[in-house]
Amino acid sequence: MAAPTKKKKKTARSKSALKRQRQIERRRARNLVWKAKLRQALRALRKETDPTKLPQLLRAAHSIIDRVARRNIIHRNKAARYKSRLAHWVAQRLANRSA
């Protein structure tokens, strides 16, 4: 028995649809770069073991989060949630260090 073949997506045919597709692909590539920067900043913050560097990394992460939200790559409420949770996380780490 033959394996089922995947149906091909219908590709755009009109000039405007082709242009729209090109725009979407460019935008997607740009958004992926910014999302990668965001993930990188969050990962760097979470991996840091030296508590003295945490506030500096938190500021850098907040900056990236704000830029990503400003570009509408993530929703502004999600950005606020990220910032709040990260600030809480850093505060806990700093409190544990001094305790």
pLDDT at site 13: 85
Superfamily classification of domain 18-98:
Ribosomal protein S20 (1.20.58.110)
- pLDDT tens digit sequence for 29-69: 999 999 999 999 999 999 998 999 999 999 999 999 999 99
- Residue 1 is predicted with a pLDDT of 59
CA distance linking residue 10 with residue 33, whole number of Å? 27
Tell me, rounded to whole angstroms, the distance of Cα 54 from its chain centroid: 20
| pTM tops 0.75 | yes
* pLDDT per residue as tens digits for the range 8-23: 666 768 999 999 999 9
Query: What are the φ and ψ backbone dihedral angles of 3, each rounded to 5 degrees?
Result: -70, 140
Extents of the domains making up the chain: 18-98
Q: Give the span between the Cα atoms of 71 and 89, in whole angstroms.
A: 25
Whether 60 contacts 83, CB under 8 Å: no
